Amino acid sequence: MTGIFKEPVKNAVYLRTLNLEGDSQADLSVHGGPGKAVYTYSSEHYEFWKSELPGMSLPYGIFGENFTSEGLLEDTVNIGDRFRIGEAEVMITEPRMPCYKLNIRFGRPDMVKRFVVSRRTGFYLAVTREGTLQAGNKIELAHRDEQRVTVADITRLHLFEKDDVSTLQRALRVEALPEAWRQGFREQLARYAIRFE
pLDDT cut 70: percent of the chain above it: 90
Say yes or no to pLDDT of 25 above 90.
Answer: no
Contacts of 33 (CB under 8 A, 6+ apart): 18
| 140 sits in which H/E element | strand 139-143
pLDDT bin (cut points 50, 70, 90) of residue 53 is very high
Beta-carbon count within 10 A of 29 CB: 6
- Of 19-23, 113-117, 149-153, 179-183, the one with minimum mean pLDDT is 19-23
Contacts of 187 (CB under 8 A, 6+ apart): none
pLDDT bin (cut points 50, 70, 90) of residue 32 is confident
Mean pLDDT in residue range 102-112:
97
pLDDT bin (cut points 50, 70, 90) of residue 30 is low
| 124 sits in which H/E element | strand 123-129
Q: pLDDT tens across 55-65, in order?
A: 999 999 999 99
Domains of the chain: 13-150 (2.40.33.20)
pLDDT bin (cut points 50, 70, 90) of residue 23 is confident
- Of 10-24, 70-84, 97-111, 176-190, the one with minimum mean pLDDT is 10-24
By CB neighbour count within 10 A (0-12 exposed, 13-18 middle, 19+ buried), where does 146 fall? exposed
d(CA 123, CA 108): 22
By CB neighbour count within 10 A (0-12 exposed, 13-18 middle, 19+ buried), where does 86 fall? middle
74 contacts 95 by C-beta, under 8 angstroms: yes
d(CA 49, CA 44): 10
Say yes or no to pLDDT of 160 above 90.
Answer: yes
